[in-house]
Amino acid sequence: MMFSHEFLARLRKLRLVVESKRTGAHKGIRRSHKFGTSLEFSDFRTYQPGDDVRLVDWNVYGRTRRHYIKRYLDEQEINVAIFLDCTSSMRALETKWLLAKKIAAALSYITLVNEDRLSFSPISALDTRSIERKGSIYAKQVLSDILQLQLSARTSTFTKEIGTNLQKGKQLSIIITDGMEPIAEYEKLLFKIASVKSKILFIHILSKEEIEPGYTGDAKLIDSELESEVNVSISPKLVSNYQLRLKQHNERLEHTCRKHHIQYLFFNDEKTAEELLLSDFITWGIVQ
């Protein structure tokens, strides 16, 4: 277990923020926007013909000589889908890969301890199955399974594989990726994702090393996806050009997300998952 008991205790007090009024069909512990038959009292309203007389509060009638019925909050589950980029580029740097797994594991844990329904998909992990669970009894096991994900085989592209895994009927879909594929492929993917009509959260993670490479001189670079090699002489000008192209790529990715009303978050591995979950994610309105 890579999280402390104290951190997990704090996670248990959080829940994912979903503003959509569409809820799941099964009972949970999340307050719906409609009234139902849960045990949590909301307020009173005047009795109307056709109302269930068993809901009349006779104590109030004894005091007021008016018929009032009790209203209770309906408690519904939400369906959450989490997609974790497991491509070779995501796993190339251990700090980035570990941070991505921790974020996915923590958000899955929060989902399950709140009795919401989870669908976790490790995208491009050809030898690993998706996880479908509901209920707090599964929370620790799912957390552990995600944190212990170990992959070694070459993978297909993230944008291609996630397109075949999109699911309708989810109130919240969370995508965790490094965005290291052609921007045109991400634009097509995000256009398709927007059609599922749920709240979408796009979490973009890069390592500090990828943003500000510290390499100089002659080097052999290996493409983590294609395993092709290229010999280069790394100069300050080359690094500057790379950073400019990366900046343009990231800005275009963010613009595409916002165009489709997808919430976009970008951060690197300088912060820990604990800091992000208990501070930044609350500030951004992801959890509360």
Q: How far apart are CA 168 and CA 86, in angstroms?
A: 22
In tens, the pLDDT along 142-173 reads 999 999 998 766 667 899 888 777 777 789 99
Q: How far apart are CA 113 and CA 13, in angstroms?
A: 9
Q: Tokens 């980035």 — which residue?
A: 96
- Between 110 and 215, the more confident residue is 110
Single out the residue of 251, 277, 275 nearest to residue 264, CA to CA: 251
104 confidence band (pLDDT: 50, 70, 90): very high
231 has pLDDT over 70: no
Which CATH superfamily groups domain 79-283? von Willebrand factor, type A domain (3.40.50.410)
Q: How far apart are CA 67 and CA 30, in angstroms?
A: 30
- Which range is most confident: 10-24, 34-48, 61-75, 217-231? 10-24
Residues above pLDDT 90, as percent of the chain: 53
Single out the residue of 217, 11, 245 nearest to residue 107, CA to CA: 11
Q: Which residues contact 170 (CB under 8 A, 6 or more apart)?
A: 79, 80, 81, 119, 196, 198
Residue 72's pLDDT is: 56
Q: Helices in 148-235 by DSSP H: which ranges?
A: 158-163, 183-194, 208-211
Mean pLDDT of 63-77: 70
Q: CB atoms < 10 A from the CB of 145, how many?
A: 17
Residue ranges per structural domain of the chain: 27-76, 79-283
Strand partners of residue 267: 205
224 confidence band (pLDDT: 50, 70, 90): low
Residue 249's pLDDT is: 97
Type and span of the H or E element at 243: helix 236-259
23 confidence band (pLDDT: 50, 70, 90): very low
Mean pLDDT of 242-265: 95
In tens, the pLDDT along 169-200 reads 789 999 999 999 999 999 999 998 888 778 99
Residue 2's pLDDT is: 81
pTM value is: 0.80
- Between 127 and 11, the more confident residue is 11
Q: What is the mean pLDDT of the chain?
A: 83
Q: How far apart are CA 36 and CA 119, in angstroms?
A: 26
- Between 71 and 160, the more confident residue is 160
Single out the residue of 107, 119, 117, 106 nearest to residue 30, CA to CA: 117
Q: Is 263 helix (H, G, I), strand (E, B) or coil?
A: strand
Mean pLDDT of 16-44: 56
128 has pLDDT over 60: yes
